[in-house]
Structure formats: C-alpha cells, structure tokens
Amino acid sequence: MTGLKIAEYSVPVPVIQGGMGVGISLSGLAGSVAACGGVGIISTAQIGYREPDYDTNPLEANLRAVGKEIRKARRIAPHGVIGVNIMVATREYEAYVEAAVEAGADLVISGAGLPMTLPAAAAAGEEKKKAAGSRADYGSENGPKRAALAPIVSSRKAAEVICRYWKKKYRAVPDLLVVEGPLAGGHLGFSAEQLEDIPALHYEEEIRSILEFAAEYSKAAGKKIPVAVAGGIYDRADMDRALALGADAVQMATRFVTTWECDAADAYKQAYIRAKREDIVLTKSPVGMPGRAIRNAFLERAAKERIPHGRCHGCITSCRPGETPYCITEALIAAVRGDVENGLLFAGENAWKARKMEHVAEIMEELSRK
Ligand SMILES: Cc1cc2nc3c(=O)[nH]c(=O)nc-3n(C[C@H](O)[C@H](O)[C@H](O)COP(=O)(O)O)c2cc1C
C-alpha cells in the first residue's frame, strides 16, 4: 500500500474519513483520523448547533463554528491533513467554502449536488486567508498552502460535467475525485428505483469507468487526479478490493461512527452496535434525495404523518419549510444528541457490522498494516 498525495498534501495512509453531518464528524473524529495518518473530515452541516446564538443567527453561528472546529482538529493533529465536507445543497454554500478555506482547511470535499462554484468560492477564501495570514498560528511547518478541492460524484457523467465546467470557467482541475457508491450512508446520489436493485447497477463497472476517465483527464491536464472510492467500505478486505480496482484511496464513514473519538452521543453509537442487517433501510429525505438510515420510531412516524417543526435554521436550498414532511436539521440534531428514537440516524449499508466500540487508532492500524 502506498500513501496518497492530494495536491500539496502527503497522506501516509490512503484513508479519508467521510464527512458526517449533523455533528457526527467534528474536530474530535477528524483530528484523531488525521493524527493517525489519514485525512480527517469535519462536516459543516449545521456545525454551529451548539453555539449559543444558533437559534437566533444560525448562519453566523455555523460560520464561526467552522473555524473553531478546524482549529480544534489542528490541535489534535498539528501535522495531519484536515478538511471539511460542505454539501452543495447547503444554503449560502459559498460562504461556508470561504470560511473553511480562510480558517485553513487543507481540503474541501463537496457533494449532494455538483460543486460548480467551488473553485471561485475557494479562491475568495484564499484571498482572505492570505490577507489575515490565518494559517500562520496553526503550527504548520511549511506555511500556508492552497486548499485542495474535491467533488463527490456517483457517475462518470457527473465527473465529466464538473471537470469540463471547471476547466472552461476557472482553468481549474479537481485535486481529488471521491466516487460515492450506492452502499453509502446519508443522502445518496441515486434514484429510489436504482437503489431497489443495487446489484443490477453493476457499480464496479461505473467505478472502473470513472477511474479510466480520471486517468485520461489527468494525462491531458498534466496533473494526477487521485480517486477515492466510498460506500460500503468497512474493513481492510473491502479497502484492498477498492485499491485493487485501481483506486488511490478509500473514503470511509460508517466504520468511524462506533469509535470513542466520534463526536456523536454514546446512544447514537450504541444504536449502530444494536442494529441488525434488516434495520438499515432506505428512506426519502425531505431534501428530495433518497437516504440510508437506521429504522426507528422516528422513521415509522415520518412514514405515517407530517411531523411539525420549530424555527427554520435555513439549512438546505431545496427545502420548503411550510411543506416539508419533517425538519431534517431537527431530526439530525436530535440524533447526534442521543435521542435515538426521535432522531434520524443516517448510516451506511454496513452499519450492522459494528459489534463494539473501537479507537480510531485501532481502525487505522488495521487499514495501514503491511
Ligand atoms: C451518519 C452519516 C452522515 C453523513 N453525512 C454526510 C454529509 O453531511 N455530507 C456528505 O457529503 N456525506 C455524508 N455522509 C456520507 C459519507 O461521507 C460517506 O461518503 C459514505 O457514508 C461512505 O460510505 P460508508 O459510510 O459505507 O463508509 C454521511 C454518512 C453517514 C454514515
């Protein structure tokens, strides 16, 4: 196994911990993964939910928390690679990208939509970072570096569209492609019909095709675009299969939930450990995309009736607060706080495999062993 190079960043273990919102992957998890030689990813989805002014001024609270969490993760892993996951469907998406880059994120990963404006928003963040010299106090040895930019795609077509647009509009090339397959947790880039028969998707062929495209495009652009494969990668054997296909790295999320370092409440982790295979289900999220989660009283209730919600925190562009079947932000915050019957517990297809709590260092040891 070789390390991973993403733009100017060297990653000893080719493992990216997937961003998990709301609040599941913050500085605790991301810092620990980065300290063990992988890439730690903080999810910016409603990241400020614990800030005192979150209810009155959610955007400001969230943008402030982006910087706070990056700095906290950096203290855990002063020399590690730490990035953020920012969903394109986030309201004020560009403001989050700017805030993360300004605060010194090494990498921005963006999916849940096509990140067409990512290079421009990141460039604005770089300008602010330069002006403030904001990376200087992070103990970095080599001084500020440009944040690497990585779209998440589920098809070759999406990769092509993004690459073509970035080239034409910004003369930019992605620094990494994350290919997310149908076994992932959270929102999925597939239709409900496609997810009805996952084997029929022959997703490995799609991965091969994306790898082929990335290789051709890298050659034409004169810059290697590494590819990370995500979705259902749970152990070393899964990882080795992905690397054997030709991937440069894997992105894993579900496996890291049941760690002592994960930022969710203990009850959330215990729900993973209790879950059986049949408890991992597909659901239609109010965001309009299918999602994968653990079956609980909340999902049963949501299937039957509209769940009233409180104040809107302006999370997702596609949500109509007056019509939404439930508030996804409220449901995800309830879950991360440990209310596992009244919350939405996103989980990957393999969440039932969790048997016990682990330390991030143990998982990273399994994934990096020669
Ligand atoms: C609890 C949970 C929350 C997630 N939240 C996000 C998110 O906010 N944004 C995103 O792009 N992906 C999100 N994902 C997807 C992961 O980043 C990752 O790509 C995917 O789950 C990989 O599959 P695995 O969980 O089987 O390893 C989430 C996944 C889980 C399990």
**pLDDT over 60 (residue 142):** no
**pLDDT over 50 (residue 349):** yes
Contact 154 CB / ligand 1 (< 6 Å)? no
The rounded Å distance from CA 187 to ligand 1 centre is: 7
Of the candidate ranges 60-74, 197-211, 307-321, the one whose mean pLDDT is the lowest: 307-321
- Angstrom distance (rounded) from CA 308 to CA 325: 8
Of ligand 1's listed atoms, the one at least distance from the Cα of 45 is 8
Model confidence at 345, pLDDT cuts 50, 70, 90, reads very high
3 CB contacts (<8 Å, ≥6 apart)?
10, 11, 12, 13, 14
Domains observed in the chain? 4-264+355-368 (3.20.20.70), 267-351 (no CATH)
- Angstrom distance (rounded) from CA 91 to CA 311: 16
Model confidence at 312, pLDDT cuts 50, 70, 90, reads confident
- Shortest-distance Cα residue to atom 5 of ligand 1: 20
Contact 21 CB / ligand 1 (< 6 Å)? yes
Tokens representing residue 263 in the block:
């930022």
Model confidence at 321, pLDDT cuts 50, 70, 90, reads confident
Contact 253 CB / ligand 1 (< 6 Å)? yes
Tokens representing residue 209 in the block:
């095709």
Contact 254 CB / ligand 1 (< 6 Å)? yes
* pLDDT tens, residue by residue, 189-236: 999 999 999 999 999 999 999 999 999 999 999 999 999 999 999 999
Q: How far is CA 350 from CA 185, 216, 228, 231, 296, in A?
A: 9, 32, 18, 9, 17
- Rg for the chain, CA atoms, rounded: 19
The rounded Å distance from CA 137 to ligand 1 centre is: 31
Q: What local confidence, expressed as pLDDT, does residue 138 receive?
A: 47
**What does the CA dihedral 54, 270, 24, 148 come to, rounded to 10 degrees?**
180
Strand stretches in the chain, DSSP E: 4-6, 9-11, 15-17, 39-43, 81-85, 107-110, 148-153, 177-180, 186-187, 227-230, 249-252, 280-284, 290-294
Our mutation pick for probing the ligand 1 site, out of 250, 259, 346, counting the most ligand atoms within 8 A of Cβ, is 346
Please state the rounded mean pLDDT for residues 330-356: 97
Contact 175 CB / ligand 1 (< 6 Å)? no
Q: What local confidence, expressed as pLDDT, does residue 322 receive?
A: 85
The rounded Å distance from CA 294 to ligand 1 centre is: 13
- Angstrom distance (rounded) from CA 256 to CA 18: 9
Please state the rounded mean pLDDT for residues 54-81: 97
The rounded Å distance from CA 268 to ligand 1 centre is: 15
- Shortest-distance Cα residue to atom 19 of ligand 1: 18
**pLDDT over 50 (residue 102):** yes
Contact 183 CB / ligand 1 (< 6 Å)? yes
Of ligand 1's listed atoms, the one at least distance from the Cα of 18 is 17
Q: What region, left, alpha or beta, does residue 335 occupy, with left being phi > 0 and alpha being psi -120 to 50 degrees?
A: alpha
